[in-house]
Amino acid sequence: MHKIRHSLRFRLAATFTLYGALVSLLLSTGLSITAHNLGKRLMDETLIAEIDDFISRRVHNPLARLPASVSIRGFLQVQGKVAENISPELRRLTPGKHELMLDDTPYRVDVIDKGNERYFMLFNEVQQHDREQQFLLYLIAGALITTLVSAGIGWLLAGRVVAPVAELARRVSAARPEDEAHDVANGFSDDEIGKLAHVFDGYLKRMRAFIDRERAFTLDVSHELRTPLAIVQGVVELMEDDKLLDEKQQQRIARIGRATREMTGITSALLLMAREKSKTEPAAQTCDVWKLVGDTVDAHRHLLNAKTTVELTCTSHPSIEAEPILLGIVVANLVRNAFAYTDSGNVSILLNDDMLTVSDTGPGIPKEDIGKIFQRQYKGAGSTGSGIGLSLVKRICDQYHWQAVIESTVGHGTTARLIFAPTTA
């Protein structure tokens, strides 16, 4: 399950709200307990005062009447005499303070012994309970109001706290390494956000320096490599037309020509991969995949063993938008690997609307090596390559959102699938 991520402002406001709710809850709980205990204390003091008042009145008037109001009721039990007006529940009480339910009415009871007399004084708790419940409702309402106020204040304060962070995020997202006039830290105070902005400025300066070095390197490579490669290619073409060369010399010249063309293609591909696309750059060319596959097979037939056959099948002729050099690098790597590693048997190449499949009957790839073949500089057992081919294929596929899938079984061959992007012409 994916966690729901909220904004920093929301989280700060929620924290402030929870803090306000917690403080309100603790305060309300404390006030409720205090009010309840205070109510009990007042009832106990009232009961003691009523008992003392009755005893003092009885000293002067033995016929003084016990309290019998709605709130206060009193009873007297003389030792050795039966008081019929005292309920059994009262008679079972011992001296002290008690909670008692009589006729579905809660009472606070105080029992006191004086000589051979026992006094029962009852306080009706109905009104006290009603007042406590009403006070509790006031506390709940106050806690809710406090929580809402905390949420509002927290949202406003969080907005002010997060504003510098949001501004920094906006400036960083708008910053471009090529824009040397852009200053992320301009206007920030010398606090934590300001220090973070200065750190971003430092990274931008380092990126600008790196981009400048990369552009200079790309220009140097473009000139210093392409020029001598073009010269070598021209000389090779002239030597290939020389009729005085014997067969072995012609084979060597052809090998030099293939290596030169391969190096030229890889250099062009690397330069294209390293170059950052601009909005004004024209769209990529439309490539006829089947024609490119045919040219690639013809260019690499020299790798085939006499016991190996090639089967080409085309169910459709898709055209895709891509740099021909980059698509050619991908196809050439898949075809070259199939040709080079199949000593005998068959290499089948199938092209349909959205996929190119190259299958061979070579020795196959061990299962533990399948996950490493796209790693840079990785070379399998018996490989004579540089380890850059399939890693470059992976980079090109990532750029065009293609998929390169390799499936293999030791002793039964390898199948490579190039799955094109969904948008094909």
CA distance 59 to 252: 140
Q: Are 97 and 108 in contact (CB under 8 A)?
A: yes
Provide the mean pLDDT of the chain.
83
Report the distance separating Cα 392 and Cα 399, nearest Å. Answer: 11
Confidence of residue 204 (pLDDT cuts 50, 70, 90): confident
Q: Please say if the pLDDT value at position 278 is more than 50.
A: no
Whether 292 has a pLDDT exceeding 60, the answer reads yes
Q: Specify the pLDDT at position 279.
A: 43
- For residues 87 and 103, give the distance between their C-alpha atoms in angstroms, rounded to a whole number: 11
Comparing 106 with 322, the larger pLDDT belongs to 106
Indicate if the pLDDT at residue 300 is higher than 80.
yes
* pLDDT number for residue 360: 93
Other C-beta atoms closer than 10 Å to the C-beta of 127 total 11
Most confident stretch, 84-88, 163-167, 195-199, 357-361: 357-361
* pLDDT confidence of residue 178: 66
Distance CA 148, CA 141 (A): 11
**Residues 304-321, mean pLDDT to the nearest whole number:** 88
Using pLDDT thresholds of 50, 70 and 90, give the confidence band for residue 424. Answer: very low
Q: Above pLDDT 70, what percent of the chain?
A: 87
Between 178 and 336, the more confident residue is: 336
If you average pLDDT over residues 227-254, what whole number do you get? 80
Identify which has the larger pLDDT, 21 or 178: 21
| Low-confidence winner among 73-87, 88-102, 295-309, 368-382 (lowest mean pLDDT) | 368-382
pLDDT for position 221: 66
Residue 383 pLDDT: 56
Instruction: Report the C-alpha gap between 392 and 266 in whole angstroms.
Output: 9
Written as six digits, the tokens of 128 are 């006290």
Q: Stretch 275-298: mean pLDDT, rounded? A: 73
Among 26, 17, 121, smallest CA distance to 76 is for 121
Which pLDDT belongs to residue 379? 62
Total residue count of the chain as it appears in this document: 425
Rounded to 5 degrees, what angle do the CA atoms 138, 141, 144 make? Answer: 150
Q: What's the pLDDT at 30?
A: 93
The pLDDT, as a whole number, for residue 385 is: 52
User: In terms of DSSP bridges, do strands 403-409 and 413-419 run parallel, antiparallel, or are they unpaired?
Assistant: antiparallel
Instruction: Say which amino acid occupies 388.
Output: I
402-421 pLDDT per residue, tens: 999 999 988 889 999 999 86
Residue 43 confidence (pLDDT): 92
Q: Kindly report the number of other CB atoms within 10 A of residue 341's CB atom.
A: 20
Confidence of residue 7 (pLDDT cuts 50, 70, 90): confident
Identify the top-confidence range among 81-85, 258-262, 326-330.
326-330
pLDDT of residue 334: 92
List, for residues 92-151, the tens digit of each pLDDT value: 899 999 999 988 899 999 999 988 889 999 999 999 999 999 999 999 999 999 999 999
SS (H, E, C) the chain: CCCCCCCHHHHHHHHHHHHHHHHHHHHHHHHHHHHHHHHHHHHHHHHHHHHHHHHHHHHHCCCCCCCECCCEEEEEEECCCCCCCCCHHHHCCCCEEEEEEECCEEEEEEEEEECCEEEEEEEECHHHHHHHHHHHHHHHHHHHHHHHHHHHHHHHHHHHHHHHHHHHHHHHHHCCCCCCCCCCCCCCCCCHHHHHHHHHHHHHHHHHHHHHHHHHHHHHHHHHHHHHHHHHHHHHHHHHCCCCCCHHHHHHHHHHHHHHHHHHHHHHHHHHHHCCCCCCCCCCCEEEHHHHHHHHHHHCHHHCCCCEEEEEEECCCCEEECCHHHHHHHHHHHHHHHHHCCCCEEEEEEECCCEEEEEECCCCCCHHHHCCCCCCCCCCCCCCCCCCHHHHHHHHHHHHCCEEEEEEECCCEEEEEEECCCCCC
CB half-sphere exposure, 343, CA atoms < 13 A: 4
- DSSP-derived pairing of the beta strands 345-351 and 355-360: antiparallel
Residue in the structure block whose two tokens are 């305060």:
27
pLDDT, position 381: 56
pLDDT at 308: 87
Domains and CATH numbers, the chain: 8-148 (no CATH), 192-272 (1.20.58), 284-419 (3.30.565.10)
User: Is 242's pLDDT higher than 90?
Assistant: no
Of 127-136, 214-223, 375-384, the least confident:
375-384
Share of the chain above pLDDT 90, in %: 29
Q: Which residues contact 115 (CB under 8 A, 6 or more apart)?
A: none
In the predicted model, is pLDDT for residue 243 greater than 90? no
